[in-house]
Amino acid sequence: MRYQAPANDLRFLLFDVLGADKLHHLEKYADATPDLISAVIDEAGKLAADVIQPTNQVGDREGCQYDPETRSVTTPEAFKEAYRTFVEGGWTALDAPLEFGGQGLPHTLKFVVDEMVCSTNLSLGMYPGLTHGAISALHAHGSETLKQTYLEKLISGEWTGTMCLTEPQCGTDLGMIRTRATPNDDGSYNIEGTKIWITGGEHDLVDNIVHLVLAKLPGAPDTTKGISLFVVPKFLPDSGERNAAFCGGLEHKMGIKGSATCVMNFEGARGWLVGEANDGMRAMFTMMNEARLMVGMQGLGLAEMAYQESLGFARERLQSRSLSGPKNPQGPADPILVHPDVRRMLMRQKVMNEGMRALALFTGHQLDLSVAHPDEEIRESADNLVQLLTPVVKAFLTDEGYNNANWGLQVLGGSGFTQDWPLEQLVRDGRIARIYEGTNGIQAMDLVGRKLALKGGQLVRTLFGVLTGYLKDQPEAPFREELKSAIKSLEQATAWLATNAPKDPEQAGAAATPYLRLMALTVIGYLWSRMAGVARKKLENSEENAPLLEAKQVSAQFYFEKLLPEIQWLLTDIQSGKSSMMAFSDDHWAA
């Protein structure tokens, strides 16, 4: 089935709901007129369907190959031309800084393109995806020399980048890394150590790979405060000399088999410090926060493709008669789309996907405002929302993206379990998104342990300002009472944390995962109310685009009646606290 980019939904969301049609009023985004944004949506949609999608299944079957002789990695054959087309179209440069050859377009557009790429080939999307984080880290923290040396070629896609964080003994707890950096006389460093699970650590799509590597300087403290970031190119840009950064092997994985996940051995490779010594975590978080938002779009992208596939199947597959009388009397049976329980699965996918898209693009829009709005107060408020919602987007969109891909598979029944259909690959590929760039449990801890406390609680107060401001401004808001009650639940949960977490941080840990979900469902509820309200208003004036506008109202009803009520459960869970989780001693677990 050919991928159909959700262009109509994107335009509705960006222009009619979020106000991205006004981005071009900001100096930084003067080029981003609605026409241009619309053209990007359409072109990216075509690229995804025509160039990227055909590489997805073959990439999964072929996988990546490692040659221990040359320590090189071969990517699936079809990836090479697709990557070249992607690069030639300028897609790697979309929101990258103008001064290094980027197009300087709004980040929201990057979100849009990420979704489409991940709908059609997550593995392929990982190569430019990680590069983007490397670009941002170098741009934000690198010296002028480093920027001049690397940025242009990374932005053009001629080179790719990596994030080298994890080691065998540590993933989450980066204070435990053992990779060492010792200064050379010429200002460079000698990097020794082993990194694992390095996406795109070695591959054959480009001539050079630029590793961003966390390592410890001699005498550095044995915590995250002793970590520095280094740039370690595969080939030294000045001399072309092969650097001692070698792939030691590939991981064999459940999915994303076209993405080269490498063990990387730094055998006295030369590296250059990015930013200040012992300040690597800050630069790392520049990459990480970006990567988290991108991973959220991966969850959504896979779920969107699963929805399209399962909808198509449900329309074609004839099985049993409708409970309200035959709908296809000439055929041997009705399409399964008529059955309520099949509709439940499809509605669940559609409504949650569109809600997740709204949450992601709301966050993306705030990111654009945070860097480009002339009013400092608006910039700060937007930045508060982005910081708060980044872990929410990452965790919720990947958990629910995975769930929705599974619902898509379920619509297909036995066919979904066979490799004749793409659903099983979507499920396998999507499983990792709940894990990498910080497991979703870590995202939840970031939210309750860090983001809620930042600026004395200002981030979450900004969110509550948005939510209650909406209720105040919109007395006729659709599903107003349901939304009000959700906001109240989020307030109660936040108050519970404010009371209990300072006395006992384990209470925050116990509440983290349901609290993140509660926040996600509430913010999406706010966005569904807005979408339904805009749709209602537009329909009052014109029949244009009526199917989408009618669908939005029904979808909002489904959301408020069947999905949002989960918050009651989450609040009960949170308020019951840690005691049942922390009571076990060692001998209880396997008793």
Q: Catalytic residue, from 437, 540, 543, 566: name it.
A: 437
Q: Is residue 238 within the footprint of its own copies (CB under 8 A)? A: no
Considering only 207, 375, 505, 537, the residue that binds its own copies (CB under 8 A) is 505
Within residues 529-548, the interface with its own copies by CB under 8 A covers 545, 547-548
State the minimum distance, in angstroms, from the CB of residue 581 to its own copies. 5
Selected from 188, 439, 458, 485, the binder of its own copies by CB under 8 A is 439
By CB under 8 A, tell whether 508 contacts its own copies.
Answer: yes
Distance in angstroms (rounded) separating the CA atoms of residues 480 and 420? 45
User: 259-294 as b/e, with b when 16 or more CB fall inside 10 Å?
Assistant: bbbbbbbbeebbbbbbbeebbbbebbebbbbbbbbb
- Residue 437 annotated to the active site: yes
For 500-508, the CB contacts below 8 A with 24+ separation are: 500/577, 501/448, 504/578, 505/449, 506/578, 506/582, 507/577, 507/578, 508/445, 508/448, 508/449
User: Following CA atoms 301, 86, 110, 214 in sequence, which dihedral angle do they give, to the nearest 10 degrees?
Assistant: 90
Applying the rule CB under 8 A, the residues between 255 and 294 that interact with its own copies are 255
Q: Across the strands, what pairs with 210?
A: 161, 233
Closest approach, Cβ 476 to its own copies, in A, equals 20
Would you state the structure tokens that stand for residue 259, as one six-digit string? 């993405």
Closest approach, Cβ 411 to its own copies, in A, equals 9
Which residues between 90 and 109 bind its own copies (CB under 8 A)? none
User: Between β-strands 180-183 and 189-199, what pairing exists: parallel, antiparallel or unpaired?
Assistant: antiparallel
Partnered with residue 266 across adjacent β-strands are 193, 245
Find the binder of its own copies among 209, 283, 295, 409 (CB under 8 A): 409
Q: If binding means CB under 8 A, how many residues of this protein chain bind its own copies?
A: 97
Stretch that binds its own copies, among 82-90, 172-180, 212-220, 488-496 (CB under 8 A): 172-180
Please answer whether residues 282 and 289 qualify as being in contact, where contact means their C-beta atoms are separated by less than 8 angstroms.
no
Judged by CB under 8 A, does residue 557 bind its own copies? yes
Residue 25 C-beta: closest distance to its own copies, Å: 29
Using the minimum distance from each CB to its own copies, give the nearer residue, 199 or 208.
199
Identify the residue among 404, 406, 500, 529 touching its own copies (CB under 8 A).
406
With CB under 8 A as the contact rule, the residue among 418, 455, 468, 498 that binds its own copies is 418
Q: Which residues 6+ apart lie within 8 Å of 248 measured at CB?
A: 71, 194, 262, 263, 264, 265
Of residues 123-162, those binding its own copies (CB under 8 A): none
The residues in 201-230 that bind its own copies, with binding defined as CB under 8 A, are: none
Kindly indicate which of the ranges 68-76, 106-114, 462-470, 550-558 contains the residues binding its own copies, using the contact rule CB under 8 A: 550-558
- 49 is a contact residue toward its own copies (CB under 8 A): no
Q: Which of 72, 190, 319, 474 binds its own copies (CB under 8 A)?
A: 319
CA distance 266 to 64: 21
CA-nearest of 542, 436, 487 to 197 is 436
Q: Could you give phi then psi for residue 392, rounded to 5 degrees?
A: -70, -45
Q: How far is the CB of 569 from its own copies (least distance, A)?
A: 5
How would you class 89 by CB atoms within 10 Å of its CB: exposed for 0-12, middle for 13-18, buried for 19 or more?
middle
Residue 224: count of CB within 10 angstroms of its CB: 16
Footprint of its own copies on 346-385 (CB under 8 A): 346-347, 350
The stretch near its own copies (CB under 8 A) out of 41-49, 118-126, 289-297, 419-427 is 419-427
Q: How far is the CB of 554 from its own copies (least distance, A)?
A: 5
Question: Among all chains, which residue has been given the structure tokens 């080029």?
Answer: 31
State which of positions 440-459 bind its own copies (CB under 8 A): 440-441, 444-445
Q: Does residue number 472 form part of the binding site for its own copies (CB under 8 A)?
A: no
Q: 107: closest CA among 292, 378, 299, 368?
A: 368
What's CA 570's distance to the chain center, in Å?
Answer: 23
Select the residue interacting with its own copies from 116, 213, 284, 342 (CB under 8 A): 342
Interface region with its own copies, contact rule CB under 8 A, candidates 117-125, 465-473, 525-533, 565-573: 565-573
Reduced to 3 states, what is the DSSP secondary structure of residue 211? strand
- The residues that are catalytic are 437
